[in-house]
Amino acid sequence: LARLPNLQHIHFTAQIEAPRALMDRIYEMQNGRSILSMLKTFHLHKQYEDGPLNIRNYIPLMHFPLFENFSSESDVPNTPDGSCAVNTLTHNTAELLWCLGPLSTIEALLQTCPRLTVFRLIIPDGTRYRWLWDVGYQPLVTPRDLVKALLQTHRKKLQTLHLDFHDYYNLHDLELLEEIEHLEDCFYTYPSFREFESLTHMAMEFEKLVRFRDLPMSLEHLDLSYCHFADLNRASLSDMIQLKGKWCPVIKSVMVRGWE
């Protein structure tokens, strides 16, 4: 790599283990020197195991002077709902569709990419993979901590937010419910989004949105998934109907999907 001063693109296929030593060496070589100063993209083809990616090893690439895009793919079949085992990170967009990580990793990503306008975190369905060698068993960031971290760094600029924790922190899990006293302030639901100033598109799980009045005033399109319609009470329906008149004056569409 040191002999390729004009190198702009790396496509790396990792067959045996995560390329942590390689990445550490790349960062060591680049620090304070002109080596890899022209690098624009890094694509990882992950074959060493089928589990989600540990994105933390690749976040420092965004500090390279001309770097534009990190992406990864894993050899995992797609699902009928269209989700793919891929991740994409640019200075404006974070699409983490095959990634698990603790709060510290999310915070590092947000601090490194202050210009993000799009943030998508889709936690993979646990039935789609067998191993977790890459990410280990670190505690997964909670919905509340994730949104609070976004508010601290991207309150003004974020425009699109798509969150899906799948079966993690399932509020229909009886054991989990035993830990919860009040949904409004527990770790497993989303806090208020009202402080976001530019957020126009949102997609999330219905059960983790405690109140419709917590949605931002700038919201135009809302997609709520995994709704158990038996749990959709009169108060929730009333609030949904009054979204435009009370809390989201520019709302254009609301989609609710789930089971009867």
Q: For the segment 108-118, what is each residue's pLDDT rounded down to a tens digit?
A: 999 999 999 99
**Residue 60: partners with Cβ closer than 8 Å, 6 or more residues away:** 23, 27, 112
Q: Are 65 and 36 in contact (CB under 8 A)?
A: no
Mean pLDDT for the stretch of residues 144-157 = 98
Domains of the chain, first to last? 9-259 (3.80.10)
Confidence of residue 181 (pLDDT cuts 50, 70, 90): confident
Rounded to whole angstroms, the Cα distance separating 215 from 17 reads 42
Rounded to whole angstroms, the Cα distance separating 29 from 5 reads 12
87-97 pLDDT per residue, tens: 999 999 999 99
pLDDT of residue 228: 83
Helix (H, G, I), strand (E, B) or coil at 114: coil
* H/E segment holding residue 89: strand 86-90
Helix (H, G, I), strand (E, B) or coil at 41: strand
30-39 pLDDT per residue, tens: 776 667 889 9
- Least confidently predicted of 62-66, 136-140, 149-153: 136-140
Q: How many residues does the chain have?
A: 260
* H/E segment holding residue 72: strand 69-74
pLDDT of residue 126: 83
Rounded to whole angstroms, the Cα distance separating 143 from 47 reads 29
Residue 254 has pLDDT above 90, yes or no: yes
Residue 16 has pLDDT above 70, yes or no: yes
Compute the CA torsion angle 161, 137, 105, 21 (nearest 10 deg): -130
Return the beta strands (E) in 131-176 as ranges. Answer: 160-164
